[in-house]
């Protein structure tokens, strides 16, 4: 039982690494921005001028080791064990989902079609209006306002300020 929990945790770390690797840099925290390898960088100006000297395009690595090390360090787990789970289990899962060599995530419409085709337990029902998946609402700071005069149409009950004498009087009555 304990071994299953550890493997599940390592799979979760693999999924986290996968999504961080495919996430736009503008959405990442600085720790993960610096950990992403530069293998996917754009060609330099000299390589654009001299295409014969440009290095051939290399596919991004299956496992971003630097990012995986950062994620493992943040989650207090062994890098070697997570690499082992990644290579034995998670990469096979990515291959079965046709995600191993792609840079893009599947579109929502494609995933919805798969749910409709399989007709199994539909987890999308639990994702409607989930606060963690929605765009965060920016709360406006209320600016301190000056008090305005009470308009005659407003029926506002004025509560006198509490003083020690008034609180004693109210407790007697």
pLDDT tens digits for the chain (173 residues)? 578 899 999 999 999 998 888 888 888 888 888 887 544 544 445 445 555 554 443 444 467 788 899 999 999 999 999 999 999 999 888 888 777 765 566 667 777 788 788 877 777 677 777 666 666 665 555 555 556 665 555 566 666 667 777 777 777 75
Question: Taking the domains of the chain in order of start, what are their residue ranges?
Answer: 2-41+59-105
Q: 70 near 36, Cβ under 8 Å? A: no
CB neighbour list of residue 61: distance below 8 Å, 6 or more residues apart: 37, 39
CA dihedral 64, 66, 69, 71 (to 10 degrees): -70
Q: 36 near 25, Cβ under 8 Å? A: yes
Q: Measured between alpha carbons, how far is residue 68 from residues 83, 123, 161 in Å? A: 8, 28, 60
Q: 72 near 79, Cβ under 8 Å? A: yes
- Percentages helix, strand, coil for the chain (3-state, rounded to 5) are 50, 0, 50
Say what the pLDDT of residue 22 is.
Answer: 82
CB neighbour list of residue 160: distance below 8 Å, 6 or more residues apart: 166
Q: 60 near 99, Cβ under 8 Å? A: no
CB neighbour list of residue 22: distance below 8 Å, 6 or more residues apart: 103, 104, 105
CB neighbour list of residue 72: distance below 8 Å, 6 or more residues apart: 13, 78, 79, 82
**Reported pTM:** 0.52
**What are the residue ranges of helices labelled H in the chain?**
2-22, 30-35, 45-49, 65-74, 79-85, 91-96, 108-118, 164-172
């Amino acid at each position: 039982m304990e071994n299953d929990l550890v493997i599940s945790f390592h799979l979760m770390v693999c999924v986290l690494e996968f999504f961080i690797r495919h996430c736009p840099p503008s959405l990442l925290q600085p720790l993960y921005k610096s950990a992403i390898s530069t293998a996917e960088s754009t060609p330099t100006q000299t390589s654009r001028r001299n295409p014969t000297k440009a290095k051939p395009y290399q596919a991004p690595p299956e496992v971003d080791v630097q990012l995986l090390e950062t994620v493992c360090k943040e989650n207090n787990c062994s890098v070697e064990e997570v690499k082992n789970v990644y290579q034995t289990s998670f990469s096979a899962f990515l291959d079965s989902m046709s995600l191993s060599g792609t840079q893009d995530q599947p579109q929502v419409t494609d995933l919805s079609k798969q749910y409709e085709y399989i007709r199994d337990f539909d987890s999308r029902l639990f994702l409607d209006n989930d606060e963690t998946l929605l765009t965060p609402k920016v709360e406006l700071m209320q600016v301190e306002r000056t008090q305005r005069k009470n308009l005659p149409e407003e029926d506002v009950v004025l509560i006198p300020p509490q003083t020690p004498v008034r609180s004693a009087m109210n407790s007697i009555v």
